[in-house]
Structure 1
């Protein structure tokens, strides 16, 4: 199993990775995406949800599917789906402590927006740990798991993939960072239904591009920090 002694940069996905899927925050976004698709395509909500999930599974984000198949511009969609109540995201003192003890640079790389990420980080109480947020706008609306946004992320942030670790809730989103040389960690939860569906469909957690798996990010980070501190 690949270790972390060489890692000096820690890259985190946002939704259902830095906060627990149990708070159901992304459910709100999911509902709003269905509503947007329903109005755009003039179909019943059930059919809109079917098409929305189909696009998400195929393209990596619903937005990418709507841009590709229906030619929408992204601004109205992003504003609508991220206009949600962020209060269900809990303060996480354990994660704050673990990030504080973790040596090196910390970054967020999300298929969401900077504004959404800032609200989430503030709710968790960990904003001060992160030097940069790379979002879907920075990636020219090309989402993970495509390789192109990862390459742009590397260029823009100046990280070295071979000394970086990537934390994600969707297994296929770790294929590109693994190919670039990053250490990869999959954050799992049975409450994260879309990720669980995708992860099962692509081979589960025992895949070569996944180095580590955890269901408790704060505890995992605390444990690896202790391990780093005991190494000669």
Structure 2
């Protein structure tokens, strides 16, 4: 293990575009289902539902938050619908599985999605059974990343000390609250620095910038 990471006991991973490559393009399908669901439920033209979806995403980190707060949308029904997509673009990555299994300590998922969706993705990637648990948007009490409060809730659920925890995410804006709370941070740089695609102020505070999780894990455990 890399000497600078020997203190890490808790390995916390984002899910989407972190544990699978972004060219799997799951969000194109999810976004379409989100817009359609909002259009039907709120009786809006599709163009307006798409704008509302994007506005809530940029404001809260997840479109569901605004829909739940202001339109009384059932979170479980909504997530079951929008995540009902084909995942044929995902395939098992046995090398990634081996690398994660070889990490010393506990491993967790921290996602703005929900647990059933996370479990489907992990199964398609050949990663079922690797992680001890999932902290999802329900666990966050609908205050998802990058809301600082959900990081504290996550650490409490996992019974993890921030100074002994490392968090990997593909969005720099989601890593800054983790860094502020004392976690080691790893940015999987696909160019998505902020929720709106712009550079996140303070992103230089992130500890590691990588381009592929599997390659980086091999490097640090060599």
- TM normalised by structure 2 equals 0.92
Partner of 1:198: 195
Could you list the per-position Cα deviations for residues 118-164 of structure 1 after superposition, in whole angstroms to 9, with x for gaps in the alignment? 11111111122101111111111221111121111111110111011
Provide the rounded CA distance (Å) in 2 between the counterparts of 1:111 and 1:48: 20
Number of residue equivalences: 220
Please say if 1:224 is aligned against 2:211. Answer: no
Verify the 8 A CA contact 1:144 1:173 in the aligned structure 2: yes
Provide the rounded CA distance (Å) in 1 between the counterparts of 2:49 and 2:155: 35
Structure 2 runs not aligned, ≥5 long: none
Verify the 8 A CA contact 1:175 1:209 in the aligned structure 2: yes
Verify the 8 A CA contact 1:171 1:199 in the aligned structure 2: no
Provide the rounded CA distance (Å) in 2 between the counterparts of 1:23 and 1:221: 21
Provide the rounded CA distance (Å) in 1 between the counterparts of 2:42 and 2:140: 26
After superposition, residues 1-232 of structure 1 pair within 5 angstroms as 3-189=4-190, 195=192, 198=195, 200-203=197-200, 207-226=203-222
Q: CA deviation at 1:199?
A: 6.6
Provide the rounded CA distance (Å) in 2 between the counterparts of 1:209 and 1:80: 37
Structure 1 runs not aligned, ≥5 long: 227-232
Provide the rounded CA distance (Å) in 2 between the counterparts of 1:65 and 1:55: 5
Q: Which moved more, 1:37-46 or 1:24-33?
A: 37-46
CA RMSD of superposed structures (Å): 1.9
- TM normalised by structure 1 equals 0.88
Q: CA deviation at 1:100?
A: 2.2
Could you list the per-position Cα deviations for residues 43-92 of structure 1 after superposition, in whole angstroms to 9, with x for gaps in the alignment? 22223212211110111100001123323231221111111112321211
Provide the rounded CA distance (Å) in 2 between the counterparts of 1:169 and 1:225: 21
* Secondary structure of the corresponding residue to residue 26 of structure 1: helix
Kindly tell me: are residues 197 and 10 of structure 1, through their superposed partners in 2, closer, same or farther at Cα, counting changes over 3 Å? closer
Q: CA deviation at 1:200?
A: 4.4
Provide the rounded CA distance (Å) in 1 between the counterparts of 2:197 and 2:89: 27
Verify the 8 A CA contact 1:17 1:169 in the aligned structure 2: yes
Verify the 8 A CA contact 1:9 1:163 in the aligned structure 2: yes
Provide the rounded CA distance (Å) in 2 between the counterparts of 1:134 and 1:203: 24
